[in-house]
């Protein structure tokens, strides 16, 4: 910890890119930062842009006065690129005029530091920007989950029921299994239990986590002290209550998804359907049982 500044060290060090054509400036900033962060550098604007594209740093310290492409132009390029536009940029400059700051803001700079750089101020600015970037990444992850949820629900609730009406009975089962495989593959990527074979309690939690990514609110309940029987239940259908009641086939998809999870991670576990909204019940309830042989 640096006196007066709380530095939160992530599991892996955040990466700071310094872009400056003066090696002495780079060495000074590197000395301030290298005990806390991973520091990389570029000696001109063009190399800076190439390094940003390759390394995707967490924060960029960008000198303004450079001979080939100045800092304002580099900043503008980075902020105009959808792949790099959210990387925080601190403009490091000997200029202090109001017009210079306005130009930097127009180019998309997030912060400004005036040379000579104060170490404590530098660490404070970087620390704050890294926290903001982390929050932004979390929001983007949640957005991506919602988009995935909406895409899957749209396909399954709108397209599949119509498609199934046109198929002969023997092909409907094939299509349902294909849809189950698609959903499980798409939404189980973030679920990685430590053991390949797990018990009923952990399995119930995974089932809830997976199906809830489709918009439900399933909760697990232990119904026997032996930890051998669990129910998972929800009063919010992952497909929408009206859609499920109109197309009960969607309840089969729910059961199929949960059954596939049990197949992958469960040992001697069976899943039974107790209630479904598609059958007019007030909630969906599934029961996980340890099987005795």
Interior angle at CA 282, CA 276 and CA 283, nearest 5? 50
**Domains along the sequence of the chain with CATH:** 15-136 (3.40.50.2300), 167-290 (3.30.1380.20)
Range with the lowest mean pLDDT among 30-39, 44-53, 88-97, 173-182? 173-182
Q: Which residues have C-beta within 8 Å of that of residue 84, sequence separation ≥ 6?
A: 52, 53, 56, 78
| pTM of this structure | 0.49
CA distance 256 to 176: 8
Q: Coil, helix or strand for 247?
A: coil
Helix intervals (H) in the chain: 23-33, 45-55, 71-80, 98-107, 119-154, 160-165, 169-187, 200-212, 241-246, 249-265
Q: What is the pLDDT of residues 142-188, one digit of tens each?
A: 666 666 666 666 666 666 666 666 667 667 667 777 777 766 776 66
What pLDDT does residue 7 have? Answer: 42
pLDDT tens-digit readout, 73-86: 999 999 999 889 88
């Amino acid at each position: 910890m640096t006196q007066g500044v709380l530095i939160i060290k992530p599991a892996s060090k955040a990466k700071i890119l310094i872009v400056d054509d003066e090696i002495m400036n780079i060495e000074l900033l590197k000395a301030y930062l290298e005990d806390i962060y991973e520091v990389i550098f570029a000696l001109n604007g063009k190399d800076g842009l190439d390094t940003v594209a390759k390394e995707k740093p967490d924060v960029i310290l960008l000198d303004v006065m450079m001979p080939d492409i100045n800092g304002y132009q580099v900043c503008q390029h980075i902020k105009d690129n959808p792949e790099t536009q959210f990387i925080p940029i601190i403009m490091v400059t000997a200029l202090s005029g109001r017009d210079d700051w306005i130009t930097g803001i127009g180019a998309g700079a997030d912060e400004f530091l005036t040379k000579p750089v104060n170490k404590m101020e530098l660490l404070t600015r970087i620390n704050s920007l890294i926290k903001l970037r982390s929050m932004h990444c979390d929001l983007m992850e949640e957005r991506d989950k919602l988009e995935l949820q909406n895409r899957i629900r749209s396909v399954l609730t709108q397209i599949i029921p119509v498609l199934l009406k046109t198929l002969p009975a023997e092909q409907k089962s094939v299509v349902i299994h294909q849809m189950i495989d698609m959903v499980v593959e798409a939404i189980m990527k973030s679920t990685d239990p430590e053991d390949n074979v797990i018990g009923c309690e952990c399995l119930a939690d995974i089932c809830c986590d997976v199906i809830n990514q489709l918009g439900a609110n399933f909760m697990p309940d232990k119904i026997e002290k032996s930890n051998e029987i669990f129910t998972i239940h929800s009063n919010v259908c992952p497909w929408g209550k009206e859609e499920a009641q109109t197309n009960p086939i969607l309840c089969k998809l729910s059961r199929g998804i949960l059954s596939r999870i049990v197949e992958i991670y469960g040992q001697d576990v069976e899943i039974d359907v107790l209630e479904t909204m598609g059958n007019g019940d007030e909630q969906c309830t599934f029961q996980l049982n340890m099987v005795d042989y």
